[in-house]
Structure 1
């Protein structure tokens, strides 16, 4: 049985429905992420798990108990907030010990529990420092240690890395993964950062307009999005409008509007005449001045470089096809010497395999 079950939960604020009949489950020991843009309902859902908001209808089952109307202090749940909410007048050790003191844990037991958490988050030598004497990453680890000291069944994290710079955020992602594995506590993590969600999570619930658009493992959400919204929101993606011409057993033929025909992997329910779009990631597309056409599994199109974006490790090229359509492709800057291979208006050729993209009906 799942540790957490959210059953048909609805939350409204006046005429606005923030969470609209959401149902999902989270397994014990899982790193589960609620991902979506601002206003999609992910933070409202997290606040209902914490007890700061009550659902208008539906159930929140935690370890077999409906906690939908249980106050926050009586739930086996702790929350790490965006600003960490550390007490500035308390040392690191005192911050971590505070929940234990409030719970009436004997002083003789508190010191051992605090030392254990300090070791878990690798802050033993910072026990006597105050929050203002710590880096952003260290403060975050203190906040997590304080949330874990009561050994909750569920730890909620509300965009805890959003205030950190890019390099520190990457380091903290690795630390969070390691810490979650070590302590074995279920994490429910809220973020709007797609890369962060892909890096951290066992599973992701992508939310839009108060509903879950797709719930799956990161690699499936990235490679097999179920809707245009998910494809467009998760990473860079070309969305090519197309019509189904023919459906075979191992591939189907589609007509990309204004471009031409190509083969794609078949999808359930597809039939000739149906419209949809081919989702194609930039890294799946080959780019060259000319490309060999000896692979029958590939489709080739000609165009010219419209623009490019140098990102250090890769360069994104925007290629304009003969009909004016713009397609993004990507080349790694792995070769020595010149990193930029093409300039604006250079004539190029694109190619991709029939199984490189994913077709979405509708």
Structure 2
């Protein structure tokens, strides 16, 4: 049985339904992420797991017990908030010890458990410092240590890295992965950052308008989105509307509006005439001044550079095809001494394998 089961949970605020019949499960030891835009219901769902909000209907089963209605302090759950919520007048060790004092843990056991968790988060040398004497990343680790010291079955993290700068955020992502492996506690993590979710998670629940739009491992969500929303929300993606015009043994032909015929992988139980969207990631597309036309299993088009965006390690090129449709491609800036390969209005050719994209039925 899963450690956590959310069964048909609904939460409304007046006429607004924040969480709409959500069901999912989280396994013990899993790094599970709730991902979605602002207002999608992810934080409300997290607050219900913590006990700060109560569901209007449905069940929240933790370790086989329905905790809906159980107050936060009675749940084997701790929450790490975005602002860390540390006591500024207490040292690191005192902040971490605070939950144990509230639970009347004996002094010797308290000292031992604080020392253990300080070692887990690599903060032993900082035990006597105050929060204002530490960096944002260190304060974040203190907040996690305080949440871990009571040995919760479930650790909830509400966008804990959003206040950090980009470099520190990346460092903390690696630390969170390593920490979660070391302590073995189940993490439920809330974020609106797609890259963060893909990097950290064992599984991701993408939420939209109070519902789970897709739940799967990161690579499946990225490569095989189930809807236009998921495809568009997770990273950069070309969304090309089309109609199925022919069905073969392992692939089908799709007429892309304003572009032409493109082959793609065959979907089960489809018919000629069905409409949908071909989702195509920019990095899956070849781009060059000229490309061979006779490469097997490739779709080939001509166009010109409409715009480009230099990002350091890569450049995003927006290509205008002959019929005016815009397609984003991506090239690594790997050539020595060159910032980018093409300029605006350069004539180019692009191609992609038939299995590079994923067709979503309307």
Query: Cα deviation per residue 1:261-291 (whole Å; 9 max; x = unaligned)?
Result: 0110011232100000100000000001100
Alignment partner of 2:337: what SS? Answer: coil
Q: What's 1:235 paired with? A: 235
Range with greater deviation from structure 2 (224-233 or 333-342): 333-342
Tell me how far 1:249 sits from its aligned partner. Answer: 2.4
- Deviation for aligned residue 1:335: 1.4
The equivalent of 1:73 in structure 2 is: 73
Matches of 1:8 and 1:20, distance apart in 2? 8
Is residue 331 of structure 2 the alignment partner of residue 331 of structure 1? yes
> Structure 1 residues 247-256 or 184-193, which shifts more?
247-256
Distance 1:290 1:257 in 2: 24
- DSSP-derived class of the 1:87 partner: coil
User: What stretches of structure 1 move > 2 A for 4+ residues in a row?
Assistant: none
Give the TM-score of the pair, scaled to structure 1: 0.99
CA distance in 1 between counterparts of 2:249 and 2:92 reads: 62
Q: Which residue of 1 aligns with 2:176?
A: 176
CA drift of 1:322 comes to 1.0
Size of the aligned set, in residue pairs, is 362
Deviation at 1:339, TM superposition (A): 2.2
Partner of 1:8, secondary structure, is strand
Distance 1:249 1:209 in 2: 38
User: Cα deviations across residues 210-269 of structure 1 (Å, max 9, x unaligned)?
Assistant: 000000000000000000000000000000000001222211111001111011001123
**What is aligned with 2:59?**
59
> Where do residues 1-362 of structure 1 align in structure 2 (5 Å cutoff)?
1-362=1-362
Deviations 1:179-236 (A, max 9, x none): 0000000000000000000000000000000000000000000000000000000000
Q: CA deviation at 1:323?
A: 1.2
Provide the rounded CA distance (Å) in 2 between the counterparts of 1:309 and 1:143. 38
Tell me the secondary structure at the aligned position of residue 309 of structure 1.
strand
SS in 1 for 2:339: coil
Per the normalisation by structure 2, the TM-score is 0.99
Cα shift at 1:293: 1.6
User: Deviations for 1:145-195, whole angstroms, at most 9, x for unmatched residues?
Assistant: 000000000000000000000000000000000000000000000000000
- Three-state SS of the structure 1 residue aligned to 2:206 is strand
DSSP 3-state at the match of 1:47? helix
Cα offset for 1:328? 0.2
What is the CA–CA distance in structure 2 between the aligned matches of 1:48 and 1:258, rounded to whole Å? 47
Counterpart Cα distance in 1 of 2:247 and 2:229: 25
Separation (CA, whole Å) in 1 of partners of 2:249 and 2:24 = 33
Aligned partners of 1:216 and 1:268: how far apart in 2? Answer: 20
Q: CA–CA distance in 1 between the matches of 2:287 and 2:240?
A: 17
Could you say what secondary structure the match of 2:296 adopts?
Answer: coil
Q: Structure 2: any 5+ residue segments left out of the alignment?
A: none
Once the two structures are superposed, residues 115-163 of structure 1 have per-residue CA deviations (whole angstroms, 9 ceiling, x without a partner) of 1001000011100000000000000000000000000000000000000
Q: Secondary structure at the match of 2:212?
A: strand
Q: SS where residue 329 of structure 1 aligns?
A: strand
Following superposition, the deviation at residue 302 of structure 1 comes to 0.5
